[in-house]
Amino acid sequence: MKPNPQTEELSYSTSQKQLDEAAAIIKLDPVAYELLRRPMRELHVTLAVKMDNGSTKIFQGFRVQHNNARGPNKGGIRFHPNETIDTIRALASWMTWKTSVMDIPLGGAKGGVICDPKTLSPGELERLSRAYIRQTASFLGTEKDIPAPDVYTTPQIMAWMADEYSIMQGNNKFGVITGKPLALGGSAGRSDATARGGIYCIREAALTLGINLTESRAAIQGYGNAGSYAHKLAVELLGLKVIAVSDSKGCIYHPEGLSYEKVMAHKKKTGSVAGFPSAIAISDKELLELDVAVLFPAALDSVITDANAMNIKAKIIAELANGPTTPEADTVLYNNGVYIIPDLLCNAGGVTVSYFEMVQNAYGYYWSEDEVQERLEKKMKTAFFAVEQKARSYNVHNRLAAYIVAVERVADAMKLRGWY
């Protein structure tokens, strides 16, 4: 599965097209539209990091805050060699819509550093993480902007960042970061929250569509945190049979189903799902076009386009990745009767449990994993039916319905605050 070289350029224009479509349908006020089409503020930073060999290397980083009308900004920090400001802008706007769809009192932000963390030692990674916080600290705070992990960032990186911010403030401020280790105020249930939220949505979609998922087939594109947990939970909670999975190094297929435990053991040993014994190697294109009940795009954005949408055979597409389907493909899939659970809803379990972590940090009392999962399930179901109701009311596909829910809520908050 090779990255699409056009992906970074496509994501921001995609996010704007999706807003444009929703704004036209609800006849959004022109001033509100202009406020929502661009980020409220951006910070570009230059980071000087001492390397293990004694040299100093310069890294570029960003923090984008899209809109805070409904509450403090919230969003992850990505460490990626191909990071761009346009990708960060798109993801920040999607966080605004995601928190709004979930009806949690937060806005949207995103951050990133252009780097390849796989080439950095633990010491270099720590110094880079702390340098990023030193340069962005004035932007951050529990009442301003609360970062979290994202691509190639981890609970350990969040711990270093929370510690650096606390040192700068002169007292512990662990609540400024979510996705932390449990020992520093992290939340139980955070590790599988993104996948679990998506699974709850699939269950509701199947009930709505009258589909029996037990022993039905599923395919998962992407086998990182979200994709691998989706494999585990799809089997445990829905009774699905996962017949194909992929990662950046290859795709595997077995018509009788793949064992989560065995595939994970193989990936941990070899670094990839590729070469899994008894499985057949297939292309990424073939995986996306398999005849399955549920397809999980859980890796790159813009992988389902007008070029391949007609070949998609899945009954339900559960978008655990951000922006995996282009606006042009949405129309094709909707006309073909494919039920999409859009990213704004499907992968919002992560930010929802991050919000739960903020709540627990604020009053110093922590919930059990069962309590977190119970609250997450309630939030996901409520959001699912809000989107479903808008889709029926406006006779539109689910992504457009999710945008309508989100944009109306943010626009209402801005109007009440006197912004327009």
> Of all residues in the chain, what percent carry a pLDDT higher than 70?
98
Closest to 79 measured CA to CA, from 48, 112, 50: 112
Asked about 110 being catalytic, the answer comes back as yes
Domains and CATH numbers, the chain: 7-13+37-176 (3.40.50.10860), 193-346 (3.40.50.720)
- Residue 8's pLDDT band (boundaries 50, 70, 90)? very low
Q: How confident is the model over 30-87, as pLDDT tens digits? A: 999 999 999 999 999 999 999 999 999 999 999 999 999 999 999 999 999 999 999 9
Place of tokens 């969003």: 75
- SS3 per residue for the chain: CCCCCCHHHHHHHHHHHHHHHHHHHHCCCHHHHHHHHCCCEEEEEEEEEECCCCCEEEEEEEEEEEECCCCCEEEEEEEECCCCHHHHHHHHHHHHHHHHHCCCCCEEEEEEEECCHHHCCHHHHHHHHHHHHHHHHHHCECCCEEEEECCCCCHHHHHHHHHHHHHHHCCCCHHHCCCCCHHHCCCCCCCCHHHHHHHHHHHHHHHHHCCCCCCCEEEEECCCHHHHHHHHHHHHHHCCEEEEEEECCEEEECCCCCCHHHHHHHHHHHCCCCCCCCCEEECHHHHHCCCCCEEEECCCCCCECCCCHHHCCCCEEECCCCCCECHHHHHHHHHCCCEEECHHHHCCHHHHHHHHHHHHHHHCCCCCHHHHHHHHHHHHHHHHHHHHHHHHHHCCCHHHHHHHHHHHHHHHHHHHCCCC
- How does residue 317 score in pLDDT terms, banded at 50, 70 and 90? very high
Check whether 3 has a pLDDT greater than 90. Answer: no
Q: What is the pLDDT of residue 314?
A: 98
Give this prediction's pTM.
Answer: 0.93
pLDDT recorded at residue 298: 96
* Of 27, 74, 98, 110, catalytic: 110
Closest CA to 391 of 325, 328, 340, 317: 340
Nearest CA-CA partner of 309 in 336, 286, 291 = 336
Q: How confident is the model at residue 105 (pLDDT cuts 50, 70, 90)?
A: very high
In this predicted structure, what is the pLDDT of residue 9? 46
State residue 260's pLDDT score: 97
* pLDDT tens per residue, range 349-393: 999 999 999 999 999 999 999 999 999 999 999 999 999 999 999
Residue 138 has pLDDT above 80, yes or no: yes
CB 194 within 8 A of CB 349: yes
Residue 4's CB: how many other CB atoms inside 10 A?
Answer: 14
More confident position, 260 or 327: 260
Structure confidence at residue 1 as a pLDDT band (50, 70, 90): very low
Mean pLDDT in residue range 204-211: 97
Residue 301: band (very low, low, confident or very high) from pLDDT cuts 50, 70, 90: confident
Contact 169, 348 (CB under 8 A): no
Cβ atoms within 10 Å, residue 174: 19
Q: How confident is the model at residue 323 (pLDDT cuts 50, 70, 90)?
A: confident
- Spatial separation of the C-alpha atoms in residues 319 and 14, rounded to whole Å: 15
Q: What is the mean pLDDT of the chain?
A: 95
Pick the more confident residue, 301 or 7.
Answer: 301
Q: pLDDT above 90 covers what percent of the chain?
A: 93
